[in-house]
Each structure stands twice: as C-alpha cells, then as structure tokens.
Amino acid sequence: MRKNIVAGNWKMNNDLSQTEALISDLKHQKNRGNAEVMIAPAFTNLYSAFNALKDTSIEVTAQNMHFAKNGAYTGEVSASMIKSVGIQTVILGHSERRAYFGETDLILKQKVDAALAADLRVVFCFGEELADRNAGNQEVVVASQIKNALFHLDKLVFKNIVLAYEPVWAIGTGETASPQQAQNMHKFIRKTLNDKYGKDVSENMSILYGGSVKPNNAQEIFSKPDVDGGLIGGAALNAEDFFAIVNAF
C-alpha cells in the first residue's frame, strides 16, 4: 500500500546555525500520525542535518542534483556526492528549478535516470501554471510533464519514485488549490499511471500535494482519497507549523 509522506522543502533558506536550530526544534516535536517525514535543507547543510537526524525517523533529502556522474560542471552536485553524505532521496523537477534554472523535461528525464541509477529515491515535482489552468489545460500539461520525464522507465523502478503535484500558481502565494481541485488532479495522475503501467504502479504511488499547505488547511487536503501527503515550503520553516501539518494525517 502507498505511504503517507510529509516533506519540507526548505528551498534557499537557513544557513548552518539556523539549520541546527530548526532541527533541534524538530526533534522536540512528536509524530502522532502515520506519515513519513522528510526535510530538504540546502546542500551545504545536508551532512550536518543527516548526522543530527540519523537516529530519528526524519529523513533528510536533497533538493536537486546534476545528471552527470562527475566532471567539469562548475557549481553542480552529483548523485554519488549526495549519497556519500548518507542521503537516500532527491527532489527533482521543482517548478522553481524549471522556471529559474531552465530545467526542461529532457533534462529532468536525465536527472531521474541518474538518480535511480545511483539508487536514490526521487520525489518528482510537476504542475501547471496559472495560464494553463485558466485555459483548462492543466491535465494536458501535467500529463506531458509526467510522460516526458518518466514514461520511458520500467515499471519496477516506480517503487523508488514519489510524485508531487505542485500547481505553480499555489506556490508561496497563499493561494491553495481547493481540496477538490487537488483530488481531481491526483485522481487524474493516478489514472495516467494506471493507463501506462497498471494498478501495481498507480495504486502504490504516493502522490503529494504542494502549494501553500498550512496547519489550517492540511487536514482537509490530506483527507482526499488520492492525496497521500504534502510537499511543504514556507510552513516547513517553523517546527510547530510543520508538525501540525505532519500530524494532520
């Protein structure tokens, strides 16, 4: 059966001492629900965060990686570098990577392949922009993002993939997809997976929702049958808020 997951994407926030302070706050919180918990600090803090949390049930993940194994890619970090500090999961395809750093479906396909080849679990993000939704094209856009980056894969590797639907218009805006909008899209995503790979993949896939999830709206969003958790930005930077969301399951 698929897992419930709540992941905090810290984005480009928190230096080393702020990371240590937030992790110390997180350790004082209790997971009263049934969701797996992840946090994704910046690269510079992964090693410290991993060590601080290795005896807890909070998993530390990376926010990005390059697809090449190594070489002349100034400023980049490879899958094996991430693995070498103990990390087992990487977020790929975040809309901020797509919008500000030119990550295309083709680049993401290469990143997904490189991550899976290195035995990293992938949290693969995608989602439509406001103009797509206003034009009624959200399903077409989401289906093509998924197909272009993932549909060359063998069905067996999907156990190492988590999907995160993040409508761009709901990220950091305070505007959330309504629980019903999220449910409709998640159901569509599951159907898209089912049509290609069958129920083994579609029913076992955790599909997270991201976009202005807060303590006051998490429970209703997570109550939808095809929503298996959340990818949390702003509210993940405060331990009490984050665990209020974790405990909404």
Applying CB under 6 A, what is the total number of residues that bind ligand 13P? Answer: 14
Instruction: CB nearer to ligand 13P: give 132 or 201.
Output: 132
Separation between Cα atoms, residue 133 and residue 139, nearest integer Å: 9
**Binding span for ligand 13P by CB under 6 A among 14-22, 71-79, 133-141, 233-241:** 233-241
Angle at 157 between CA 64 and CA 48, to 5 degrees: 35
Q: Which residues in 86-125 contact ligand 13P (CB under 6 A)?
A: 94
Of 94, 103, 128, 186, the active-site residue reads 94
Closer residue to ligand 13P (CB): 165 or 197: 165
What is the C-alpha to C-alpha distance for residues 146 and 124, in angstroms, rounded to an integer? 9
Beta carbons within 8 Å of 51's beta carbon, 6+ residues apart? 86
CB 205 within 8 A of CB 161: yes
The answer to whether residue 166 forms part of the interface with ligand 13P (CB under 6 A) is: yes
In the annotation, is 94 catalytic? yes
Q: Is residue 212 near ligand 13P by the rule CB under 6 A?
A: yes
Residues taking part in catalysis: 94, 166
- Positions in the binding site for ligand 13P (CB under 6 A): 9, 94, 166, 171-172, 210-213, 231-235
